[in-house]
Amino acid sequence: MKKIFLSLSLLALLSNTTQAAEQNLNIYSARHYSVDKNLYDTFTKQTGIKVNLIEGEGNELMKRLELEGKNSPADILLTVDAGLLWKADQQKLFQPITSDILNSRIPEDVRAKDGSWYAFAKRARVIIYEKTKGKPEGLERYEDLAKPAYKGMVCVRTSNNLYNQSLLTTIIKADGETAATEWVKGFVANFARTPQANDVAQIKGVAAGACRVAVVNSYYVGKLIASGAKDQLKTVENIAILFPNQNDRGTHINYSGAGVTKTAKNKENAVKFLEFLASDEGQKLYAYSNSDYPIVPSVAMPPQLKAFGTFKQDIQPAEVLGSLNPTAIRVMDAGGWK
C-alpha cells in the first residue's frame, strides 16, 4: 500500500507540474514601456496565466528567436513596427492561428491573411511646428520638408530610427526611389541641427525654438499631455500638430502588433493573450497607456488624442514597410541622412 501511495503522490506532483507549465506565457517584446506591467498583470488576474517577459529591440529579438530555433521559450513576439511584423513572418518566426475573435475585431488591412500576426495599436508620423510663429507657409506634405524655403528649420531623429525608415518607404512607394533620394538631400539640407535623441527631444526642440518644425510620432505628444506634469504641458502648449498629405495619400500610419511564435510551447495561452489585446479592456490598456490609437474601430481613441481631431490615414500593407526598408536605408545613405 505504501508503494501505491508513493506512486499516486508522484503522479499528482507530475500533474500539478504540467498544469503549472501550461499556465505560463513567455513574451519577447520590443515595447519598452513601464506602463505595460498593468497590461500583463490584468491578463494574469483574469486568466491565471503568468507572463514572463524579455524585452529588447525588434531585430535583436528576431535574431534571438532564429538562433534559439526549436528550443526557444518564446510564445509571443511583439514588435512596434509593421515592417518588422512582415520581416518576422518572412523569416517564418510566426505560426498561423485561427481565432474568430481576432478576425472579427482586427481590420483585414492590419493583420496577416493567414493569422500569423495581428496589429493592436497604431500611431501617426506627424509634423509639429512652433505655435507662436505658426505653420510655415506652404507646408502641407512630407515632400514639402525638402523645399529650400525651410532651410535651417527642421529637427528629426537619425536615419537609424525605424520610424523614419518606415516613413521613407511610403515616400518611395508614392514618388519613386529617384525622387525620394532627391527629397532626402533637400530634407537634410534643411536640418536645424544634427539628428539626435528621440522624438521627445524633437518636440522640446520645437517648443524651445531650436527648430521651427519636426517629424515625430503622435503618441509622444499624447504622452506628454497624459503625464499631467506642468513642464510637459507647457512644452505641448508651445507646439501645434500638422497631419501631412491630407489632400492626397494621407498621413503615414505605423502599427505595432504580435504573433504566436512557430515554436510556442504555450500556444493556447498565447492565443488567449492576443484575444485579450483585442478586447475593449485590452485595447485601452495596450493603446491608451502609450497614447496610441486603438486598432479596433469600435474602441474610442484616448482622451489626450481627441483634441488632435480626425484625419486621412495612409495605412500601407506591412509588406510595403518591410520589403522597402533596405531601399529606404540605401536612399538615406545616398541622400546624406546620418
Q: Look at residue 38 and tell me whether its pLDDT is greater than 80.
A: yes
The per-residue pLDDT for 34 is: 83
Query: How does pLDDT run across 142-155, given as a tens digit for each residue?
Result: 999 999 999 999 99
Q: According to the model, what pLDDT value does residue 165 have? A: 98
Least confident piece of the model among 31-35, 88-92, 266-270: 31-35
Dihedral sign for Cα atoms in the order 276, 253, 299, 99: negative
Q: How confident is the model at residue 5 (pLDDT cuts 50, 70, 90)?
A: very low
Q: Locate the domains of the chain by residue range.
A: 2-122+255-306, 123-252+310-335
| Count of other CB atoms within 10 angstroms of residue 186 | 18
- Residue 219's pLDDT is what? 97
Domains 2-122+255-306 and 123-252+310-335 fall in the same CATH topology: yes
| Number of H-type helices and E-type strands within the chain | 15, 10
User: How far is residue 333's CA from residue 338's CA, in Å, rounded to a whole number?
Assistant: 7
Residue 2 pLDDT > 50, yes or no?
no
Mean pLDDT of all residues in 213-222: 98
Task: Tell me if 77 sits within 8 A of 259, measured CB to CB.
Answer: yes
Give pTM, 2 decimals.
0.92
Would you say residue 8 has pLDDT above 50? no
Output the pLDDT for position 97: 98
Homologous superfamily (CATH) of 123-252+310-335 is: Periplasmic binding protein-like II (3.40.190.10)
Interval 132-183: pLDDT, tens: 999 999 999 999 999 999 999 999 999 999 999 999 999 999 999 999 999 9
CATH topology of domain 2-122+255-306: D-Maltodextrin-Binding Protein; domain 2 (3.40.190)
Tell me the mean pLDDT in the region 252-265. 98
